[in-house]
Amino acid sequence: MNVVLDDRLLIEELLVGVPRSGVQLHTTVYWYYRACRAAVLSAGGYLSGPFRELQLLDQQRAIGAMLQLPERIGLPPTRQLVPLMVEIAERHPKLNLLNLEAAAAARALAATIWLSPEVAKGVLPAVLDGERLAWEIVTPK
């Protein structure tokens, strides 16, 4: 089963791991960028919080892990996503790039999107429901 992790759950996977059995993990370029930005710039908020809780050496290792995404976490190819993003944008013209990419990734990979509680409060769940794409809330530790 393919799963697409949002930015907060990607951070969780790289820091401590997410519970999974028999799933192939993926993320999107936009979520990967936001996770890296949070790790490196530590701007505050729910994305950078897990990094601030680490000791300095562990924090440096975690940032290194973010900047070199492990091969076990897939990134859907852009050439496949862009046409799907355009198709979804026709039905949801006000949807931003982050959410378009997430929905397109779920479609391209026939994947379930795992959303952290913070992301699940946004507009993406309604769009995923409208597109008949699977999603669930996964709470980080």
Name the residue ranges covered by the structural domains of the chain.
Answer: 2-29+72-137
Structure tokens at 21: 């059995």
What's the rounded Cα separation, in Å, for the pair 3 and 59? 26
Query: Is residue 52 pLDDT above 90, yes or no?
Result: no
Instruction: Give the model's pLDDT for residue 60.
Output: 81
pLDDT of amino acid 55: 77
Decide if pLDDT at 36 tops 90: no
Residue 138 scores a pLDDT above 80 = yes
Which is more confident, 99 or 53?
99
Residue 56: pLDDT band with limits 50, 70, 90: confident
Would you say residue 81 has pLDDT above 70?
A: yes
Asked if residue 42 has pLDDT above 80, the reply is no
CA dist 57 and 66 (Å) reads 14
What's the confidence (pLDDT) of residue 7? 93
Record the tokens describing residue 136, joined without a space: 């669930």
Distances (CA, A) of 24 to 28, 111, 130: 14, 9, 24
Share of the chain above pLDDT 70, in %: 96
